[in-house]
Structure 1
């Protein structure tokens, strides 16, 4: 009597697991896509002065230029939904004959493999950008990368592949095509920081590393110039209940100034939006900062709600109710 070999549990549950993980990925990227499309701010915990999820959403890498600047998260959502469909289709819809079912299972497995490889390679590139270019901590991005890798692992171990060599060949081909395509999509993005005006009409990244001692009267000189959108936002903030608490020696405070540009930030100063907290500054108002319970710089308080750390201008526009032009020149 020949004993029939039992099916490994992972082969029984691989498709439901892939569908569940892809579903979590769809929820994550769908939420980010909605916030990006509506100009909202993602719920994200970040230390004061540190870059977080919304800095990533404000970066030029958060959109796909060749598709009219649509959010990257939207395409991630579509990719995860596709993986859900491929995973559950043979479970939910069974053809009348076994040959058709076997063909459906085989074709969807190969499509799952191709999709998981492409998503993992693309996520790996995004993790590189997150660590070395944007230099931010985005828990949504990290979660999506983990989901992508998990899908790849489950796709490989979730069934008995007849030709392991073909898996490696597929991985090499799909990986190379994905990487080349990704580099091509983002070829026009300028990864360098700037300390001077941008005339290209595109957002530019702001980085600031102090090379000299700050002046107690004003900190460091603002070297960026404002566009119409920055000036309009500054004028709007001057009409709201907004305050920015700063210290002249704080590099992050200077980054905030650079985002606005010289002309727009002058409007904030003239309308007393900026509050200097350093006692040694001739403009210092430490008692005002103490009364406001300021513990880090910069800190914005808009309509009674505190916002710690440097804020990208589209974020300030959102939380302050600004509805004007948003083609801001710089991001962090």
Structure 2
């Protein structure tokens, strides 16, 4: 009697495992997408003065074709989830249709997993050697991509291993070349300045670095303050507000631009601004550590933290400011 070979458990559950990993990846990238599109600040624990997730999201590598990179990651994970579950959901008693769908989706899963792994590998290189930052979300996403590739390969019986290797070589090369083309014009120290971006009057475009910041004060403030900005700055001094920043943080510069030079000088002179970058001569890491700062900028007002860039109208609201409110700029 000839016994039928039992199907390995990984082959039985591989599509479900792939869908589960892709689902977790979609949650991860979906969260980052929402934070990026809404101008929020991702929850990220990092040592005072160290670059973290929000600095990665704000970097030139954090945007592709004008959209958050995380959005494309979200779409990729959703696509992998659909490919994994399609034969399971659409399974019928017919033999031809489901078999073709099974084979087609496996090859598409393989192509997708290879492309995602190669792209994630490039981003890990950028994270380590260009940005020199720590981003748990990015690292987790890279691990998800690699896990998808591993499960895709071992999750079924492939008849031709050589074809898998050839596919990996072709897809890997195409992905790498495409990635280098997309990012070919990126220079982390130079990008289009705000005055070259078309935005409505009063709305400040997100700042992108054109040069290395000065460790003493960061980048030069190019906006001017009105009476309302100056009055709010004095009010923030009176209520004991604190803003925790890092000189190399583009978001912190966005906050400065909203106040304008004259108003922000008042905040600096009265020590409302607290520098957290360890390599700045003005650094006060002990204060940042005591305040449990995990991202920049962070405002502490009446003992409550407010993460990310705050419009001046919002700062006025949370501090019960009742003075002039015709602020010149907004996000």
Distance 1:317 1:93 in 2: 48
| CA offset digits 1:228-262 (Å, max 9, x no partner) | 4x86897697264543479xxxxx5587899458x
Tell me if 1:164 matches 2:151. Answer: no
8 Å Cα contact 1:299/1:307 also seen in 2: no
Aligned to 2:108: 111
Stretches of structure 2 that go unaligned for 5 or more consecutive residues are 198-206, 276-281, 316-326
> Paired residue for 2:75?
78
SS at match of 1:114: helix
TM-score, reference length from structure 1: 0.73
SS at 2:310 equivalent: helix
Residues 320 and 35 from structure 1, CA distance in 2 versus in 1: closer, same or farther, beyond 3 angstroms?
farther
Per-residue CA deviations over 1:112-146 (Å, capped at 9, x if unaligned) read 00000000011111111111111111111111000
Distance 1:185 1:273, change over 3 A: farther
- Native 8 Å contact 1:86 1:112 kept in 2: yes
Choose 108-117 or 235-244, whichever is displaced more.
Answer: 235-244
Q: Contact 1:268/1:274 (CA < 8 Å) preserved in 2?
A: no
Q: Identify the match of residue 267 of structure 1 among 257, 263, 273.
A: 263
- Alignment: residue pair count: 290
CA distance change for structure 1 residues 301 and 258 in 2, over 3 Å: closer, same or farther? closer
- Tell me which residue corresponds to 2:323: none
Q: What's the CA shift for 1:227?
A: 3.2
CA contact (8 A) 2:60 2:188 kept: no
**Residue 208 of structure 2: which of 203, 211, 218 is its match?**
203
Calculate the aligned-residue CA RMSD, in Å.
4.0
Matches within 5 A, 1:1-332: 1-65=1-65, 69-192=66-189, 203-204=208-209, 207=212, 220=216, 222=217, 224-228=219-223, 238=233, 240=236, 242-244=241-243, 252=246, 259=253, 260=256, 264=260, 267-271=263-267, 272-275=269-272, 301-305=299-303, 315-317=308-310, 321=314, 324-326=329-331
* SS of aligned partner of 2:120: helix
TM-aligned CA distance change 1:15 to 1:299, over 3 Å: closer
Instruction: Spell out, residue by residue over 1:257-285, the C-alpha distance to the aligned partner (whole angstroms, 9 max, x if none).
Output: 99458x9455322354535889xxxxx9x
* Aligned twin of 1:214: none
Distance 1:204 1:56 in 2: 13
Residues 105 and 166 (structure 1), Cα distance of their counterparts in 2 relative to 1, 3 Å cut: same
Q: Could you tell me how far apart the structure 1 residues matched to 2:87 and 2:8 are?
A: 18
Q: Which residue of 2 aligns with 1:215?
A: none
